[in-house]
């Protein structure tokens, strides 16, 4: 019963939010998505399991921490060793943390060395929305989309804005943005700075424990522009991050640039295209470990979309990707390794509808210079049983490319060395879903899924070298409920899963068998918002131990002061619960953040 106590407490607090004021109805919108099918479509029409975190949700959360937003998504498990700025891992439907393809404006951004995206460094101030697709999407996006795809879209608005933030743990922040827009196009420029002294990240049981505070400093710069040229539009974007992250016994400096240039528009009445050149550069310096890692990606994509009749669409595309990773020993001034690889790909997809039935089919061929060729396929079917009830089923394949470290790292004295002969990891997933809607105010969905993984890379055998030997499988179910009567925003979700190593029969690390989240929020006619969030997870294994189940509560509020000016407040771990996400690492006690933000109207 203790597992659900915070969720029950959130429900008990709901009547207290019935303050004596007139409430306003929350406008229910149907977000337009592009990640699930690479074509714009309403979220209600998607046959995939998709969640959207838009700018309104980010502002309403009153947070600068992406963990507060992602952990409320069903099927996602987010763990962090310490407080804000410390290393964060994300698991989708029981998959490993490098089984999710992460994109920023269509550009791959996961680390070439580990295949993991550093979620702790995502600057929420520069983000417009995040689309999360659960289930493999290799048939459209290629490598690394075994358990899902998460695409982050940077802000494109040209409105002037500013924000000041202050919180405990000596947290301070400032951000500002400005731009202009005309009938032909516009531009925008923004910058952000956030500094926190943090808390002690480890416990005395950790081998590297140092009883100090482990803080973080974030510096962000973002720019974008677009210009209409007849029926075509040119777009350009840049996201730059320069961060200093402290950890026990050391400090790292990370820099990342994500940039893109695109041309798109109509080529005929039923024909449109988009051609993009984009890429990313990363630098990770860890002086205490005398290492530096440099990586570079270059991408070219050309996608064509054709309307086939009144209820069908055909998508065709070509893709080229070049990657280079370089690990350096800064003490010796020499390279540990420096390697490159490139991938050429072609993909096709069709969406159509026949009466009450919707269909999706997609396939992709990838040819990589290191690990060879891979073909991936997927299909989905949806049946509108009534105007309010839909049944859907889907099947898909995925694969993950070996990371540069898994291929080329010399290890330590030959131990835990990479293996250039590695093959990609593979997955096959099935899903059955039922969705019930009641007007615009209520929606409930239930999804059952199985995700089987093969040829997983493990370090075993002589000197624990990287080889394809492991297998895993996750059976699970996700339940989502949304209810938005006048003046209220109520959201809840629950996940049941059995992530299992098929070779040993043991549960996969740090992934709970059960988790639940809830949000109860009151919205008033004057724009005031007051809400309570609850999150709970069952016990789960870690290296050599089991972590206890836990539940936490957060409170959030927004108060409009004048036109365009808001005062936001948030308190996490409201009840000061002592819980552990990673063995040997602390989680912060009550954490408060106060924000004063302004946006021109």
What integer pLDDT is reported at residue 582 of this predicted model? Answer: 95
Please give the structure tokens belonging to residue 554.
């957060």
DSSP 552: E
User: What letters, b where the CB count within 10 A reaches 16 and e where it falls short, cover 350-372?
Assistant: bbeeeeeebebebbbebebebbe
What integer pLDDT is reported at residue 413 of this predicted model? Answer: 81
475 contacts 449 by C-beta, under 8 angstroms = yes
Q: What are residue 495's DSSP bridge partners? A: 478, 515
Average pLDDT over residues 326-334: 93
Q: Is the pLDDT of residue 310 over 80?
A: no
Q: Is the pLDDT of residue 338 over 60?
A: yes
d(CA 544, CA 547): 10
Average pLDDT over residues 373-396: 97
What integer pLDDT is reported at residue 211 of this predicted model? Answer: 87
* Tally of structural domains, the chain: 1
| Residue with the two structure tokens 């991408």 | 299
What integer pLDDT is reported at residue 212 of this predicted model? Answer: 87
What integer pLDDT is reported at residue 28 of this predicted model? Answer: 58
pLDDT digits (tens, 9 = 90+) for 46-71: 999 999 999 999 999 999 999 999 99
* Conformation bin of residue 461: beta by default, left when phi > 0, alpha when psi is -120 to 50: left
Average pLDDT over residues 403-412: 92
Question: 243 is in which domain, residue-wise?
Answer: 2-599
Average pLDDT over residues 210-221: 93
d(CA 209, CA 212): 9
98 contacts 116 by C-beta, under 8 angstroms = yes
**In terms of residues, how long is the chain?**
601
| Residue with the two structure tokens 């979700």 | 493
What integer pLDDT is reported at residue 30 of this predicted model? Answer: 82
What integer pLDDT is reported at residue 206 of this predicted model? Answer: 85
What integer pLDDT is reported at residue 307 of this predicted model? Answer: 92
d(CA 257, CA 310): 41
Q: What are residue 496's DSSP bridge partners? A: 477, 514
pLDDT digits (tens, 9 = 90+) for 258-283: 999 999 999 999 999 999 999 999 99
Identify the CATH number of the domain in which residue 423 sits. Answer: 2.40.170.20
Q: Is the pLDDT of residue 538 over 80?
A: yes
195 contacts 171 by C-beta, under 8 angstroms = yes
User: What letters, b where the CB count within 10 A reaches 16 and e where it falls short, cover 493-513?
Assistant: bbbbbebbbeeeeebbbbbbb
| Residue with the two structure tokens 């026949």 | 354
396 contacts 139 by C-beta, under 8 angstroms = yes
Task: Name the phi and psi angles at 290, rounded to 5.
Answer: 45, 45
Four-CA torsion 363, 364, 365, 367, nearest 10 degrees: -160
The residues, any chain, with a CB within 8 Å of residue 15's CB and separated by 6 or more, are none
pLDDT band at 133 (very low <50, low <70, confident <90, very high): very high
What integer pLDDT is reported at residue 29 of this predicted model? Answer: 72
Q: What are residue 335's DSSP bridge partners? A: 328
């Amino acid at each position: 019963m203790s597992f659900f106590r915070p969720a029950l407490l959130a429900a008990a607090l709901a009547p207290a939010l019935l303050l004596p004021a007139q409430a306003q109805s929350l406008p229910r919108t149907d977000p337009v998505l592009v990640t699930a099918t690479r074509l714009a479509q309403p979220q209600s029409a998607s046959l995939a399991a998709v969640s959207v975190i838009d700018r309104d949700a980010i502002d309403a959360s009153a947070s600068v921490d992406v963990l507060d937003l992602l952990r409320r998504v069903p099927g996602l498990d987010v763990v962090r060793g310490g407080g804000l700025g410390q290393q964060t891992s994300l698991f989708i439907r029981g998959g490993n943390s490098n089984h999710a393809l992460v994109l920023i404006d269509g550009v791959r951004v996961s680390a070439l060395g580990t295949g993991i995206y550093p979620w702790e460094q995502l600057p929420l101030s520069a983000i417009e929305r995040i689309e999360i697709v659960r289930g493999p999407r290799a048939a459209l996006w290629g490598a690394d989309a075994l358990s899902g795809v998460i695409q982050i879209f940077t802000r494109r608005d040209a409105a002037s804005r500013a924000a000041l933030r202050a919180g405990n743990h000596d947290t301070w922040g400032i951000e500002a943005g400005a731009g202009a827009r005309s009938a032909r196009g516009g531009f925008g420029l923004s910058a952000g700075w956030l500094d926190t002294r943090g808390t002690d990240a480890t416990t005395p049981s950790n081998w590297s424990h140092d009883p100090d505070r482990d803080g973080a400093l974030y510096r962000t710069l973002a720019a974008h522009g677009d210009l209409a040229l007849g029926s075509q539009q040119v777009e350009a974007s840049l996201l730059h991050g320069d961060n200093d992250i402290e950890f026990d016994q050391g400090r790292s400096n990370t820099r990342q640039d994500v940039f893109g240039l695109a041309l798109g528009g109509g080529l005929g009445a039923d024909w449109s295209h988009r051609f993009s050149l984009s890429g990313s550069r990363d630098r990770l310096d860890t002086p205490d470990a005398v290492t530096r890692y440099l990586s570079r990606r270059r991408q070219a994509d050309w996608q064509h979309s054709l309307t086939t009749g009144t209820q069908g669409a055909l998508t065709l595309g070509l893709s080229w990707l070049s990657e280079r990773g370089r690990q350096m020993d800064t003490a010796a001034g020499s390279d540990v390794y420096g390697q490159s690889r490139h991938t050429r790909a072609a993909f096709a997809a069709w969406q159509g509808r026949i009466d009450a039935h919707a269909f999706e089919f997609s396939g992709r061929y990838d040819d990589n210079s290191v690990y060879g060729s891979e073909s991936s396929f997927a299909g989905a079917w949806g049946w509108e049983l009534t105007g309010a009830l839909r049944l859907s089923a889907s099947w898909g394949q995925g694969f993950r490319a070996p990371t540069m470290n898994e291929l080329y790292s010399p290890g330590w004295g030959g131990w835990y060395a990479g293996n250039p002969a590695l093959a990609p990891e593979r997955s096959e997933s099935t899903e059955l879903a039922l969705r019930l809607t009641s007007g615009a105010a209520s929606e409930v969905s239930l999804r059952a899924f199985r995700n089987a993984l093969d040829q997983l890379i493990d370090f075993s055998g002589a000197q624990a070298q990287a080889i394809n030997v492991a297998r895993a499988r996750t059976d699970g179910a996700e339940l989502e409920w949304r209810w938005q009567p006048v003046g209220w925003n109520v959201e809840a979700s629950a996940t049941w899963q059995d992530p299992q190593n098929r070779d040993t029969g043991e549960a996969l690390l740090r992934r709970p068998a059960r988790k639940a989240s809830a949000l109860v929020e009151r919205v008033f006619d004057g724009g005031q918002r007051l809400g309570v969030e609850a999150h709970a997870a069952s016990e789960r294994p870690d290296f050599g131990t089991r972590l206890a189940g836990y539940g936490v509560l957060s409170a959030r509020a927004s108060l409009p002061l004048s036109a365009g000016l808001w005062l936001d407040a948030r308190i996490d771990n409201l009840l000061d619960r002592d819980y552990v996400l990673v063995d040997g690492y602390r989680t912060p006690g009550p954490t408060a953040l106060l924000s004063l933000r302004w946006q021109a109207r």
